Amino acid sequence: MSYCLNPSCENPSDPENANQECCQSCGCHLLVNDRYRGIRKLGEGGFGITYEVDDKGTSKVLKVLQKTDAKSVALFKREAKVLKELKHPGIPKLEDDYFIYQADIYTLHCLVMEKIEGLNLEKWLEQQDNQSITEAQAIAWLSQLIDILEVLHQKRFFHRDIKPSNIMLRQNQMVLIDFGIARELTGKYWEEIHDKGATTKINTLPYASPEQMEGKARYQSDFYSLGVTFVYLLTGKNPNELAKKDEKLLWRDSAYQISKPFADLIDWLIEPDIEDRPPNTKYIRKSLKAIKYNQIAELPKIKNAPRRWRLLQRLCGSVAVTGLVMGVRYLGILQSWELAAFDGMMRSLAVETPDSRIFIIAVDENDRQYQDAQNMQRRDSLADEALTQLWQKLAPHKPRVIGLDIFRPRAFESKLAATVQSQPFIAICAGESEKEPAISPPPGTPLDRIGFAEMPTDPDFRIRRHLLTMDADRTCNTTESFGLRVAERYLNQKIDLNKIGAKKLELDAGGYQLPKQEAFGYQIMLKYRRAKFEQKNLREILNNSLDNQLSALVRDRIILIGAVNENDLHFTPYSTGFWPERMPGVEIHAHKISQIVSAVLDRRGLISWWPEWAEWLWVWFWAVVSGLLVVQSKSRVYSTVWLVLIPCGLGGTCFLFLVNGVWIPLIPAAFAVAIAIGTGAAYTAWRNR
């Protein structure tokens, strides 16, 4: 017999075609490529028609593509590539590469494969009157199919269309056929899944896995299809006829002949979530071996290992990341970044209303020249004569307290001394340091009217800390800072630092990893007021130009008198740019005084931080969250969204806490996020390589 392969032939199996060169019905040539003579039609699927053909006395299978669109042709060529690369008795051999046969009136896209003698499992079960197979038979068949899949997966291919009709039984050998939609798991395929969210959806219900239905098939998708196939073989029922609960097939009651361990294995294969299935064929083979040799106790451990192991990996990994980051933090390596982040958030705080309780009288270079022009005998920024005139101008308007932020280690002349002693006046001094000698206060000044002027600076020379108290120096014999003395004089009370929430900076408080020599006294974070203080120059007061405003400027206020010169300009969190602006010391003292007074009278919060254990939990939380949301995302689009949202969420949360006066770790958490995402992505790439 000769079967005509012309798709339009009305009688392709005409008996008259036997031993003829042309079809007696349509006139087309009966030999394809002058070699293959059709014998009979074997089957027809969505993409191709298969024929048994004779090749010089040997029966082979000729597969002809039904659809000729570009996508179908690409899939057909891929099948040829798969079959050519795979060498296994359970996979049909490719006898002839993909070719196109051009006849007079039709064109055929062809593959020639070895002919597998036997029945597919669907027909085989029908011949058995749909009697379910035994467990021993199932173990033997499943073991063979797992061997086939291992070869397929090792070549980075997965089948995507495993079902009873695509598994042949050749004597006692399982043969997997129809590789028409097999796919190679390449980097391009992963990009398609992540970037587009899915690839072409080609599946056969009810054997296709949930992720394959969404166009996101992977190696474990073959395990699902294989598991459902064995549900069919073990129950003798079409899986569509079986009930479901929580997307899982309820099939065990229809397979009484199956032991619980083997049923557990099948359920493992058909888990709806791909992450809950065996990660590779080795796990399945180990389970089969345990069942075969009655090592039942091993199976549950193998079955449950993947999910628990993944969870344990994530938790251990996040703990390791947290430990690494916090360890680096304790070495002080992150301090500069944490302080820079703190500065950035401080600069982003809302602008505040000016503190109307403070008035600054600045003595700058023009003021010094003014004094010289008036023939005042000036030894420093402020001559005694100028200070006497200033005091006479201020005293009638009854300031609450006057702070002189100018060092005067010499005594006031007698007339000035009498004037100063009659006013609520605070002077400054400085203790001895490694770089600077001590500077004494004006002789004869009572102790409760003296405050030290020390301003601790950080390694980047910025002032972020407010030193409130420290041990008295033999020269600067006071335990309280200038700012604290002025604030207490203004409030007319001793300030309870704990009561106002002044949290003391320790060696490793907040983002600081202070050297022991820097963590002295009672230091708190300096919360600058985002507003300018009212300020005038000395000469404006002395030349009478402000006489009509002086009462409003001075009455019942804190008056700070300070020099503005190159030696008393400091960097602060607000010093930015290529030429960062520096703040005069008298203004920094104004911020310190305002911070204390506002905390007492206005309940303006000071800056605090979490205990160490809370900071550890915070960093660990972000390591876990970033790993779960970014690394475990099934789409690159979602991963990208989380990569944007997580840093924004972290930064925004830290900023909101700082708005409410709590400084929490931003940089350590950001490092934990970056490391968790990087290591997680690397592990995922390695696992799926």
Q: Which residues are catalytic?
A: 161
The Cα-based distances of 604 to 293, 304, 595, 596, 660 in angstroms read 74, 55, 8, 9, 10
What is the Cα 32 distance to its own chain's centre? 59
Rounded CA gap, 591 and 588, in Å? 5
Handedness of CA 435, 436, 437, 441 (dihedral sign): negative
- Sheet holding 31-32: strands in order across? 31-32, 36-44, 48-55, 58-65, 107-114, 94-102
Alpha-carbon torsion, ordered 258, 259, 262, 267, to 10 deg: 80
Distance separating alpha carbons of residues 63 and 50, to the nearest angstrom: 4
Burial 521-550 (b: 16+ CB within 10 A, else e): bbbbbbbbbeeebebbbbbbbbeeebeeeb
Q: Please state at what angle helix 260-269 crosses helix 135-154, rounded to 10 degrees.
A: 30
Locus of tokens 């308007």: 397
Q: How far is CA 408 from CA 421, 521, 567, 590, in A?
A: 15, 25, 16, 19
Alpha carbons 40 and 165: distance in angstroms, whole number: 19
Question: Which one, of 344, 392, 365, 343, lies nearest residue 541 by Cα?
Answer: 392
CB within 8 A of 637, min separation 6: which ones?
A: 194, 195, 197
- In angstroms, the CA 553 to CA 550 distance is 5
Q: How distant, in Å, are the alpha carbons of 175, 280, 293, 670 from that of 127? A: 19, 33, 31, 64
The encoded tokens of residue 301 equal: 């451990």
Q: What is the DSSP letter of 132?
A: P
Contacts made by residues 401-404, CB under 8 angstroms, sequence distance 24+: 401/425, 401/426, 401/486, 401/489, 401/490, 401/558, 401/559, 402/426, 402/559, 402/560, 402/561, 403/428, 403/482, 403/485, 403/486, 403/558, 403/559, 403/560, 403/561, 403/589, 403/593, 404/428, 404/561, 404/562
Let me know: does 513 contact 665? Beta carbons within 8 Å: no
Q: At what angle do helices 260-269 and 219-235 cross, to 10 degrees?
A: 140
Name the 3-class secondary structure at 478: coil
- Which residues 6+ apart lie within 8 Å of 556 measured at CB? 398, 399, 400
Helix axes 335-347, 636-659, angle to 10 degrees: 70
Q: Are the beta carbons of 449 and 560 closer than 8 angstroms?
A: no
Closest CA to 176 of 99, 279, 93: 93
DSSP 583: E
d(CA 360, CA 192): 66
Contact of 503 with 524, CB cutoff 8 Å: yes
In this structure, what token pair is assigned to residue 206? 């009810």
Asked whether 159 and 179 are in contact (CB, 8 A), the reply is yes
Bond prior to 206 in cis (omega within 30° of 0) = yes
Q: Judge contact between 305 and 277, C-beta under 8 A.
A: no
CA 448 to chain centre: 54
